[in-house]
Amino acid sequence: MLTSFIDTSSLLIVIIFLTVLVAVRQIIVSNSNTFRKHIGPNGGRITFCEAYQVDKSTKISLYEIDGQTYAILHGGAKTPNLFPINQLSKLDV
Q: What does the pLDDT look like over 8-37, one tens digit per residue?
A: 888 999 999 999 999 999 998 888 777 777
8 A C-beta contact, residue 63 and residue 46:
yes
In this prediction, what percent of the chain has a pLDDT beyond 90?
A: 18
Alpha-carbon distance 62 to 60, whole Å? 7
List, in sequence order, every beta strand (DSSP E) within the chain. Answer: 46-53, 59-65, 68-75, 78-85
- Give me the pLDDT at residue 12, please: 93
Mean pLDDT of 57-63: 89
Q: How far apart are the first and last CA of the chain?
A: 81
8 A C-beta contact, residue 48 and residue 63:
yes
Q: What does the pLDDT look like over 65-93, one tens digit per residue?
A: 888 889 898 887 778 888 888 754 444 44
pTM over 0.85: no
